[in-house]
Amino acid sequence: MLALLVLCAAFAPPQTSHSTPRTSVPRPPALLPRDVDVLPDGSLLVLTAEAGAVRLDANTGARVAPFAPTLEGAVRAELDPLRSAVAIGRLDGTVTIWPLSSADGAALLDGTDPDVRARRAHAAVTLGTADSEGRSYPNLTWTHDGEHLVTWQRSFFHGAVTSPVQVWTRTGDLLWQGPPATDVAVHPLEDQLALTVGGSRVLRFGWPDGRGGGVERFELPGPCTTVSFHPDGSRLAVGGSATDALERRKPFVWIVDPHTRSTLQGFLVRGVDPMEIKQRTECVRWSSDGLWLGVTLGKGNAVGILHASSGIARWSGNYRGGRMQEVFDATWLPGPRLLSNWPTGLIGDPDSQKSVALPWMTYSLAAGIPGTDHAVLIALPMDDAPFLARASTRTGEIVWRSFDR
């Protein structure tokens, strides 16, 4: 999903030369952020290209301490719902579950403390996930109770699936290995998962029974590429494509009842792409209040917000360009407001129907700050190295920047 991940490697610090020596206040080396999440103590866990995982003060952006300074190639972090462990995925396909607290309740966050490192190493679990050969990025999703972790991988560009979906127990046992999937969603309240299979018409839904079954097939009228659960788990939004009255392939969304395996409604996505040339729904996500569907469309890219009950467009980011086969995501931030990632970070507000344009591209990975309308974003300026920024999702005001050179 994150076609932009490879941009991290492409950005290098600007080179300058001076005819005479000059002095300056020493600064820590700039870092290239790859993912960000909020730890139980309120600090930020940031995965970087050069320094492994580090912790930042969420209020100021200042570095607090290393979390795992020798962690190389880490690109994805996902805290479990209990906030007692974090799963960290690397480019080589390795996924490790790290404890954030010990059995006696002691925090295991300070990577400079030898005792903390020893306790974490003793309790850490490394999963034998499918080898990606460095061509893709890991996707990680915990189940509602944090007892299982679902992993799958997609290539940097074009979103091609590169490995099967795997369901793991928290202790590292492989419960189920399914087909390659373009998207996976987990039920918010019970052990259920749904996955779209390789852009086919097949939606898989259910839960592994431990004997290779339990995840049933459900065939839709058209190819499906993306799936999302309603916040209460009562419905699935499935995005893909279908033909219109003129037999043209168009973006489509089906609303499915996961318990009866029946299609409740379906609608062509209109009013999001003013040029009406997009062919599929690339990404669909329910808002936290269940009222809205955030969508991105391909080929190319357009982003919008739909009324979940009717499919009528509420807000559109209009045509955003982009290479025809790349995958672009959208994610809901506090508000709820929708963040998309190309060609500049764009935040859409379904209530006001207004947009906030950020001055740079962003990843769709972002961390909402609890109790505020702020989020920490990974900024991707075209003329400099990536950096972190805390911004208001309502106004776009930048509170702080970190890691910038």
pLDDT at residue 311 in the model: 95
Tell me how far apart the alpha carbons of residues 325 and 160 are, in angstroms, rounded to a whole number: 10
What one-character-per-residue DSSP string does 174-201 give?
A: EEEEEEE-SEEEE-SSSS-EEEE-TTSS
Mean pLDDT of all residues in 381-405 = 86
Structure confidence at residue 160 as a pLDDT band (50, 70, 90): low
pLDDT of 325 over the 60 cut:
no
AA letter at 333: L
pLDDT of 67 over the 50 cut:
yes
Strand, coil or helix: 122: helix
Mean pLDDT of all residues in 384-396 = 91
- Tens of pLDDT, residue by residue over 354-373, are 999 888 888 777 899 999 99
The answer, as to whether pTM is greater than 0.85, is: yes
What percentage of the chain exceeds 70 in pLDDT?
84
Lowest mean pLDDT among 46-55, 126-135, 364-373: 126-135
Angle at 196 between CA 194 and CA 199, to 5 degrees: 175
Cis, peptide link before residue 40, omega less than 30° from 0: no
- CB burial string 318-345: b at 16+ within 10 A, e below: ebbebeeebbbbbbbbbbbbbbbbbebb
Tell me how far apart the alpha carbons of residues 244 and 226 are, in angstroms, rounded to a whole number: 20
With beta carbons less than 8 A apart as the criterion, state whether 111 and 68 touch: yes
pLDDT at residue 327 in the model: 53
- Tens of pLDDT, residue by residue over 241-268, are 998 777 788 899 999 999 888 999 999 9
pLDDT at residue 132 in the model: 54
CA separation, residue 246 to residues 200, 242, 243 (Å): 22, 11, 7
Structure confidence at residue 161 as a pLDDT band (50, 70, 90): low
- Residue 17: exposed, middle, or buried by beta-carbon count in 10 A (0-12, 13-18, 19+)? exposed
- Tens of pLDDT, residue by residue over 191-231, are 999 999 877 899 999 999 888 789 999 999 999 989 999 99
Lowest mean pLDDT among 169-173, 178-182, 284-288: 178-182
Lowest mean pLDDT among 19-23, 320-324, 383-387: 19-23
Instruction: Name the more confident of 55 and 5.
Output: 55
Compute and round to an integer the Cα radius of gyration of the chain: 21
pLDDT at residue 20 in the model: 34
- Tens of pLDDT, residue by residue over 330-344, are 899 988 999 987 667
pLDDT at residue 15 in the model: 37
pLDDT of 7 over the 50 cut:
no
- Tens of pLDDT, residue by residue over 69-118, are 878 888 899 999 999 999 999 888 889 999 999 888 889 999 999 999 99
Other Cβ atoms within 10 Å of 245 Cβ, number = 6
pLDDT at residue 147 in the model: 96
With beta carbons less than 8 A apart as the criterion, state whether 108 and 118 touch: no
**Residue 341's closest CA among 324, 318, 364?**
364
AA letter at 298: G
Alpha helices in 183-270 (DSSP H): none
Lowest mean pLDDT among 67-71, 350-354, 373-377: 67-71
Mean pLDDT of all residues in 374-381 = 91
pLDDT at residue 27 in the model: 45
